[in-house]
């Protein structure tokens, strides 16, 4: 029933590539028996060749430094791109597709930037371009949005989709430690890169969110239209105030269809109710909460990175492509990007977003301060839900004032913050963190 020996070629043989080659070299019988597809690892292209990889049994002649031995090789049916970056990967994937090969990639940056072009090319050439491993590796969220929830209007999705940030914030919640200290620990443990900018500034989460919202809303937003904030300014003080107020701080990637049929796409630190399932996703784990109008609230939890979880997703994509080759499933993959139809929703600018806010101010410890600040908020039609003002404990005559607002628009809040920061009584840097209550299940 299955095409024998569907040949797979890898571009790149780093962490994920090693995991993929372990599965393909060690488990082809299992996959053939359970999924009905016979896969053969035929070629691995890598810039500089390592002598061997632990736990991988590679056939002679399998390794090469020349990627064209993969993408131009007539024997190869499926090309797996794991080299990252957006230039070489784009060219090689383009070439592979034009050569009629099905492609699997884990490259979120490439798809966020050139997805539309590549999916169209795949469609024209009747091949699959699968990308489950690009977002939250161990969680099959791409397939779920694309297939399982196809009958739903997605009302909102909330993702913890950057393991580095979640590890750092979880550690900050567990111990009385500051961001810089935990970041160093995360780097030592391999949970954070030597240059962690992409992760901690929220850009990695933003690239993944763009893929999710493209699937959920058919919306191809340019990446510079997103509102993206990282976690570098979150202090231990914020963590503790949040806890006192019944919240946990997480870096959330949010896609939300609001009442005006506009889609909010944003990444920022967020206060979540302590009791919510998302708030309890700790360590380097990922989770995505999707609320569909038919299916209701759902949540998916798993590892977002790492050799084997990501390889598991890549091989599932290879198997799907293998089924397309053996006629068991077709090649069209990603209607969201392929359609030229105008989506029935538009992007909501961050200024128009409505939410509740946590505001932490450093103020002079003297009478009348709260009155001044609340009158600024009132003038911008922002009402206060609760206030924490602790007795002074710092030596410099300042105090912390924490305010939780009712729902306000971002534009009003930003105007108010500008005025508040200009007050003489406000002496230090202010903190503003958005609150999401909706995910309280």
**Which member of 51, 194, 294, 371 binds a second copy (CB under 8 A)?**
294
296 belongs to the binding site for a second copy (CB under 8 A): yes
Answer yes or no: 43 catalytic.
Answer: no
Would you say 237 and 321 are in contact if contact means Cβ atoms under 8 Å apart?
no
**Which member of 5, 14, 30, 174 binds a second copy (CB under 8 A)?**
30
Per annotation, catalytic residue among 208, 250, 256, 323: 208
Phi, psi of 200 (to 5 degrees): -75, -15
243 belongs to the binding site for a second copy (CB under 8 A): no
300 belongs to the binding site for a second copy (CB under 8 A): yes
330 belongs to the binding site for a second copy (CB under 8 A): yes
Site for a second copy in 95-154 (CB under 8 A): 132, 138-140, 143-144, 147-153
Burial of 389 (0-12, 13-18, 19+ CB in 10 A): middle
Separation between Cα atoms, residue 88 and residue 133, nearest integer Å:
19
Q: DSSP string covering 238-269, please?
A: HHHHHHHTTEEEEEEEEEEE-TTSEEEEEEEE
Within 8 A by CB and 6+ apart from 103, the residues are: 78, 79, 80, 81, 93, 96, 97, 122, 127, 128, 129, 130, 321
189 belongs to the binding site for a second copy (CB under 8 A): no
Binding segment (CB under 8 A) for a second copy, from list 111-119, 324-332, 372-380, 384-392: 324-332
77 belongs to the binding site for a second copy (CB under 8 A): no
**Which member of 236, 306, 419, 427 binds a second copy (CB under 8 A)?**
306
Would you say 166 and 282 are in contact if contact means Cβ atoms under 8 Å apart?
yes
Is the CB of 196 or the CB of 292 nearer to a second copy?
292
Would you say 169 and 234 are in contact if contact means Cβ atoms under 8 Å apart?
yes
**Which member of 40, 90, 95, 335 binds a second copy (CB under 8 A)?**
335
Separation between Cα atoms, residue 93 and residue 106, nearest integer Å:
12
Q: How far is the CB of 420 from a second copy (least distance, A)?
A: 38
User: Can you read off the two tokens belonging to residue 186?
Assistant: 């995360």
Site for a second copy in 147-186 (CB under 8 A): 147-153
Q: DSSP string covering 290-326, please?
A: EEETTTEEEEEEEE-SSHHHHHHHHHHHHHHHHHHHT
Is the CB of 230 or the CB of 292 nearer to a second copy?
292
Binding segment (CB under 8 A) for a second copy, from list 22-30, 41-49, 262-270, 373-381: 22-30
* Residues belonging to the active site: 208
Residues in the site for a second copy, rule: CB under 8 A? Answer: 1, 19, 23, 27, 30-31, 33-36, 132, 138-140, 143-144, 147-153, 218, 277, 280, 285, 292-303, 306, 308-309, 311-313, 315-316, 319-320, 323, 327-332, 335-336, 339, 341, 441
């Amino acid at each position: 029933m299955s095409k024998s020996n569907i040949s797979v070629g890898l571009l790149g043989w780093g962490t994920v590539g090693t995991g993929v080659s372990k599965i393909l070299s060690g488990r082809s019988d299992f996959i053939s028996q359970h999924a009905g597809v016979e896969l053969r690892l035929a070629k691995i292209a890598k810039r500089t060749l390592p002598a061997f990889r632990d736990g991988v049994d590679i056939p002679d002649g399998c390794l090469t430094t020349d990627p064209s031995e993969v993408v131009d090789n007539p024997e190869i049916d499926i090309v797996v791109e794991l080299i990252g970056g957006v230039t070489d990967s784009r060219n090689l994937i383009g070439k592979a597709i034009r050569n009629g090969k099905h492609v699997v990639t884990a490259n979120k940056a490439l798809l966020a930037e050139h997805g539309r072009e590549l999916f169209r090319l795949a469609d024209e050439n009747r091949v699959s371009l699968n990308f489950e491993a690009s977002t939250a590796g161990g969680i099959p969220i791409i397939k779920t949005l694309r297939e399982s929830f196809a009958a739903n209007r997605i009302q909102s999705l909330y993702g913890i989709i950057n393991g580095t940030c979640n590890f750092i914030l979880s550690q900050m919640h567990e111990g009385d430690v500051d961001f810089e200290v935990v970041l160093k620990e995360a780097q030592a443990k391999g949970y954070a890169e030597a240059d962690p900018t992409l992760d901690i500034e929220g850009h990695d989460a933003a690239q993944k969110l763009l893929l999710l919202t493209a699937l959920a809303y058919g919306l191809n937003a340019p990446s510079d239209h997103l509102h993206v904030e990282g976690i570098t300014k979150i202090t231990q003080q914020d963590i503790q105030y949040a806890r006192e107020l019944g919240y946990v701080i997480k870096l959330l990637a949010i896609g939300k269809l609001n009442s005006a049929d506009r889609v909010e796409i944003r990444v920022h630190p967020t206060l979540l109710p302590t009791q919510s399932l998302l708030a309890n996703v700790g360590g380097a784990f990922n989770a995505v909460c999707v609320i569909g109008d038919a299916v209701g609230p759902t949540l998916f939890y798993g590892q977002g990175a790492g050799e084997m979880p990501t390889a598991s997703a890549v091989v599932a994509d290879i198997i799907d492509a293998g089924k397309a080759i053996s006629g068991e499933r077709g090649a069209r993959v990603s209607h969201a990007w392929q359609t030229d139809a105008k989506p029935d929703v538009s992007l909501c600018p961050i200024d128009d977003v409505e939410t509740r806010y946590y505001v932490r101010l450093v103020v002079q410890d003297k009478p009348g301060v709260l009155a001044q600040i609340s009158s600024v908020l009132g003038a911008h039609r922002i009402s206060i839900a609760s206030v924490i003002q602790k007795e002074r404990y710092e030596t410099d005559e300042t105090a912390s004032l924490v305010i939780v607002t009712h729902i306000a628009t971002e534009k009003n809040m930003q105007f108010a913050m500008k005025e508040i920061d200009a007050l003489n009584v406000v002496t230090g840097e202010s903190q503003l963190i958005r609150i999401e209550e909706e995910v309280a299940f």
